[in-house]
């Protein structure tokens, strides 16, 4: 939506739940709109490209690879499901579905954590470790090909700052810190 000061033709404004019904929408400026559309293009096309390549080269979905990778980086290759969910930016319900599929393929094992509450550990199996080690070079090549090699060195700090700020705005109770150093 362009910031024309008035509601665009054919668009019926719906106030955000937190905004008063009498407040007009704060339309994006041309510069904001351009930045948003470029960001949306990344959010839509990059995951699809990474997913397709991961499926073709390693017979894994992108989220499956990310789960295996997070586990492989942990010292004992065992983590609570809630920690994995935070590490891959997934909901617990989505992670449970992914973990079940990985468990059926013998790539990880789940077990209840003793004590009160519903806590579950996931442990990378030897087969899971071998799978992620075999898939990692292709994943890194795809990330470089589709993303990193298109950026300038000066873009990296800005991208990290932007990604962290957005992730923390969306999920303030679970700050995004993975791989971020100040």
pLDDT digits (tens, 9 = 90+) for 45-96: 999 999 999 999 999 999 999 999 999 999 999 999 999 998 888 889 999 9
What distance in Å separates the CA atoms of residue 172 and residue 57, rounded to the nearest whole number? 36
Distance of CA 126 to the CA centre of its chain: 25
User: What digits encode the pLDDT tens for the residues 147-174?
Assistant: 999 999 999 999 999 988 988 888 787 6
Domain layout of the chain by residue ranges = 48-135
What distance in Å separates the CA atoms of residue 28 and residue 4, rounded to the nearest whole number? 9
Q: Which residues of 143-164 are buried (b: 16+ CB within 10 A; e: fewer)?
A: eeeeeeeeeeeeeeeeeeeeeb
What mean pLDDT do residues 116-143 have?
Answer: 94
| Stretch (H or E) spanning 79 | strand 78-80
* CATH tag, 48-135: 1.10.10.10
What distance in Å separates the CA atoms of residue 114 and residue 121, rounded to the nearest whole number? 10
pTM of the model: 0.77
């Amino acid at each position: 939506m362009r910031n024309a000061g008035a509601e665009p033709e054919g668009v019926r404004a719906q106030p955000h739940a937190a905004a008063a019904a009498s407040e007009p929408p704060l339309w994006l400026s041309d510069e904001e709109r351009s930045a948003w559309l470029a960001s949306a293009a990344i959010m839509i096309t990059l995951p699809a490209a990474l997913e397709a390549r991961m499926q073709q080269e390693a017979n894994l979905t992108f989220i499956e690879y990310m789960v295996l990778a997070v586990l492989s980086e942990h010292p004992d290759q065992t983590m609570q499901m809630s920690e994995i969910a935070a590490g891959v930016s997934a909901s617990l319900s989505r992670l449970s579905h992914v973990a079940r599929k990985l468990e059926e393929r013998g790539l990880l094992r789940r077990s209840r954590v003793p004590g009160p509450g519903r806590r579950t550990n996931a442990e990378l199996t030897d087969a899971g470790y071998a799978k992620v080690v075999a898939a990692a070079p292709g994943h890194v090549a795809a990330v470089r090909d589709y993303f990193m090699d298109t950026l300038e060195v000066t873009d990296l700090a800005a991208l990290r700052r932007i990604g962290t700020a957005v992730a923390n705005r969306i999920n303030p109770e679970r700050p995004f810190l993975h791989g971020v150093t100040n």
